Structure formats: C-alpha cells, structure tokens
Amino acid sequence: MKLTRRSEYALLALTYLGRAATEEWVPLGRIAEAQAIPLRYLEHIVAAMCRAGYLVSSKGQHGGYRLARKPSEITIAEVIRLFDGALAPVESVSKYFYQATPIERETKMLAVLGNIRDYVARTLEGTTLADIL
C-alpha cells in the first residue's frame, strides 16, 4: 500500500471540510489554497469523492462542497481504497482486489504478507475522519 498524492490530497480536503461548519458550502478554491493543492487537480479528486458518496456539492454562486456523512462515519481505509486500491502489499493477499501473483506459491511468505495486510486493514478501517481532526 503506497499512498499517492491523490490520496493525500483527498484526506487533506476531507480534514478541511471536517473542520468547517456543518452547514457551510466550502468552495474548492479555499481548500486548494489552504492546503496547497493544485485547484484543477483537486477537482478530479473531489469529483470522485462525490461519486463515492463522501461529499455532496452545490453548484453556482456560494456553492461548494460539504461532507455527506458525519466524520465518524468515514474511514481512512475506504478513502485510500478508492484512490490507491488494495491496502495489501501484494494482490494475492488482498480481500477486495485479489489477483494471482508469482509469490503465491510461497505459503510462508504469503502468511507474513497476509498478516501485514490484516494489520493495515484493521487499523485503517478502525480510524475515521473524526479521529484525525
């Protein structure tokens, strides 16, 4: 599980929105500036999070974005899975992104990697946006 900028920006945007007033529509420009994220890139990221149901948007003047769920109901795991796929170090031990890989034959190795994937999944599924605010 290697985090890309995409995921980092997504998490930063979420934290910003999590700290904003619940009612407020926050325009992207403000997030981009505050968190030093390229605006036009952030658009794509935020669009994906809308489709995924983490955010809702309002168009037009004084529009913007806000969280669609409570911060305590958005786990870090799902955000990272959305942008970077599997949490596992190898797809052979991935639960949601399983794929065969050459190392499968080595069962001891697989056990070690599986153990790691379990730890990562457990901690990231157990951590919500509310925890990091």
Partner DNA sequence: ACTACTCCGACTGAAACAGTAGGATAACAT
Partner DNA sequence: ATGTTATCCTACTGTTTCAGTCGGAGTAGT
60-90 burial by CB neighbour count: b if 16+ within 10 A, else e?
eeeebbbbbeebeebbbbebbbbbbebbbbb
Contact map string, positions 75 to 114, toward DNA, x by CB under 7 A: ---------x------------------------------
CA-CA distance, 40 to 60, in Å (whole number)? 17
Rounded to 5 degrees, φ, ψ at 26 are -100, 120
Least CB distance to DNA at residue 17 (A): 11
Residue 57 interacting entry, from a copy of itself, DNA, none, C-beta within 5 to 8 Å by type? DNA
Contact map string, positions 57 to 96, toward a copy of itself, x by CB under 8 A: -------------------x------------xx------
Give residue for tokens 């069962």.
107
Q: Provide the 10 A C-beta neighbour count for residue 116.
A: 16
**Judged by CB, which is closer to DNA: 79, or 128?**
79
Note the residues at the interface with DNA (CB under 7 A). 4-6, 27-29, 38-41, 43-44, 46-47, 50, 57-65, 84
